[in-house]
């Protein structure tokens, strides 16, 4: 369930950010935007998870 929520959130954020108009093909600019968006999302999620784990370990 948690994974599905993350995938939905990721798809929504990156789609809204990168897809400026409907198209039958994925343009290289759009593909690059989606790749960067996904990577930033994963990095941010990992950072927050690691930080929460450290904070939880201190208590």
Domains of the chain from N-terminus onward: 2-57 (1.10.287.810)
Give, for 4, the enclosing helix (H) or strand (E): helix 2-18
> What is the pLDDT at residue 51?
95
Question: pLDDT (tens digit, 9 = 90+) per residue, 8-38?
Answer: 999 999 999 999 888 889 999 999 999 999 9
Tokens of 33: 């935007």
User: Is the per-residue pLDDT at 55 higher than 80?
Assistant: yes
Residue-level pLDDT at 59:
67
Q: Is residue 39 classed as helix, strand or coil in its secondary structure? A: helix
Tell me what the mean pLDDT of segment 40-47 comes to: 94
């Amino acid at each position: 369930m948690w994974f599905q929520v993350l995938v939905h959130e990721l798809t929504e954020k990156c789609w809204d950010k990168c897809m400026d108009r409907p198209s039958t093909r994925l343009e290289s600019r759009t593909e690059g935007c989606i790749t960067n968006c996904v990577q930033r999302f994963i990095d941010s999620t990992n950072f927050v998870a690691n930080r929460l784990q450290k904070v939880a370990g201190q208590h």
